[in-house]
Amino acid sequence: MSGRLNLVAAGFALTALTYGLARFAYGLLLPQIRADLALDATQAGLISGSAFAAYCIGISATLVAGSRLGPRWLAVLAGIAATSGLALAATAQSFLTLGVAIALGGLSTGLTSPPLAIAVSRCIEEKARPRANGAINAGTAAGIIVSGLAFILLPANWRSLYALFASLGIGTTVWLYFAMPALSQADRMPSRSVRQLNRKGIGRLCISAFLAGAASTAIWTFGANTLDAALRFSDTHVAIAWIVLGLGGMLGLGTGGLTGRFGLARVHRCAIGGMALAIVGLAAAVYARWIGFPVMALFGLAYIVSSGAFLLWGIELYEDRPALGLGIPFLMLAIGQTAGAPLYGVLLDQAGSATALGCFAAVMVAALMWAPLAGQRTPAIFAAGTTR
């Protein structure tokens, strides 16, 4: 395997491990976890919120210390955090222990994206970077699909699943050490003042990303719980719906091409609207359970397109500092998710799933009020779409 292909494959595996397994598998396994550990919805939301909060810490740390560690050690640390979190989750016996485990998974995702972006920009020629970024980012959806398939093979056994995912994490972490480039002088970014970070349109991006992130927890954290408790899906049907969500996400990997053809603002609004429609559709599925499957596919597609549009929006604002342009929108999405997951859990406990879904659909619609300014274009080096 060539060095460049090995880098892309290792990046794909790391993305699948951290995002697909360490972070998002919690939503799939939540019905079983709640039953086993006697968690109420508020506690479940707090645990999910801890993962998103840890993500904020991780991505902030990479922006501050990444130039001192380099892509190799940042990626290895991401693998270690994900593997440790998965192993701890497999043995968790309490709300607190599980919270720490899921937070480690969230931390790993914050450490993942910047070193991969640096490695691709350094090791792969410019014209091939879009395809490399697209392949690496497909790992998120692939990890979601793998978790769903594993759930079908090991039903009613969430601890064994986490143990299996942890074993995959060990191999992936070792692989990353040999596949990722070491620290070089090119990684040492000059310091900038806070005032230089202020760009026209950054407030619009931050508000929209925060609201969209908060509303997305209705499905990322509680979607499987809704399918199980409100729609009475069997465990197998919940897993199939999760796989469908991942397949929908795979369809959203051409975000860069869409923005190049239709414009960043239009794609952004369509994606946000698609997520709002999916949340409403999940509430409506109580009247026709089969709606749950296309709703999950729509959400997966819309979320990946939306996150890709946010990334491209940030890159456009910070073309001179692409790592920062990547980090700011993902940070704001995670801050929104940190706030949204516990709030949804409280609403679910106090008012039921229909009210909670309706309120969070309204929050998602509110994110439509802020979009990229007219005339913003898609950065050429990201034309194939880098999504998370």
Q: Which of 353, 374, 368, 375 is nearest to 280 (CA)?
A: 353
Q: What is the pLDDT of residues 292-303, one digit of tens each?
A: 999 999 999 999
What was the pLDDT predicted at 66?
63
Q: Give pLDDT tens digits for 345-363.
A: 999 999 999 999 999 999 9
Q: How confident is the model at residue 322 (pLDDT cuts 50, 70, 90)?
A: low
pLDDT of residue 185: 60
Within a domain: 387 = no
For residues 158 and 282, membership in a common domain is answered with no
Q: Is 189 domain-assigned?
A: no
Q: Does residue 243 share a domain with residue 110? A: no
Our count of domains for the chain comes to 2
- pLDDT tens digits, one per residue of 156-212: 789 999 999 999 999 999 999 999 988 766 555 555 545 556 777 889 999 999 999
What range does the domain containing 104 cover? 1-183
Same domain (yes/no): 24, 162: yes
Supply the pTM of this predicted model.
0.84
192 within a domain of the structure (yes/no): no
118 inside domain: yes
Strands (E), 6-49: none
Residues 225 and 99 placed together within one structural domain of the fold: no
Distance of CA 226 to CAs 161, 284, 298, 314, Å?
Answer: 21, 12, 16, 33
Model pLDDT for residues 116-154, shown as the tens digit of each residue? 878 887 888 877 776 777 778 778 889 999 999 999 988
pLDDT of residue 218: 95
DSSP characters for 169-201?
A: HHHHHHHHHHHSPPP-GGG-PPP--GGGG--TT
Looking at 183, 216, 247, the residue that finishes a domain is 183
| 190: in domain | no
- Neighbouring residues of 18: CB distance < 8 A, sequence distance ≥ 6: 78, 79, 81, 82, 105, 108, 109, 111, 112
Angle at 167 between CA 236 and CA 164, to 5 degrees: 15
Kindly tell me if the per-residue pLDDT of 49 is higher than 80.
yes
Please check the confidence at residue 386 and state whether its pLDDT lies above 70.
no
Average pLDDT over residues 365-378: 77
**Residue 294, in any domain of the structure:** yes
| Residue labelled with tokens 């801050």 | 335
Q: Are residues 212 and 65 in the same domain?
A: no
- For the chain, give the percent of residues with pLDDT over 70: 90
Q: What is the CATH number of the domain that holds 261?
A: 1.20.1250.20
Please report the pLDDT score of residue 22 as a whole number. Answer: 95
Residues 223, 175 share a domain:
no
The mean pLDDT value for 12-24 works out to 94
Residue 229 pLDDT more than 70? yes
Q: What is the pLDDT of residues 245-294, one digit of tens each?
A: 999 988 877 766 777 788 888 989 999 999 999 999 999 998 999 999 99
The total of other beta-carbon atoms located within 10 Å of residue 94's CB is: 10
Q: Identify the CA nearest to 10 among candidates 126, 112, 155.
A: 112
Q: What angle do CA 238, 107, 84 make, to 5 degrees?
A: 80
Q: Under a CB-based contact definition with an 8 Å cutoff, are residues 62 and 114 in contact? A: yes
What is d(CA 100, CA 89) in angstroms, rounded to the nearest whole number?
8
Specify whether 237 is located in the same domain as 328.
yes
The amino acid present at 176, given as its one-letter code, is L
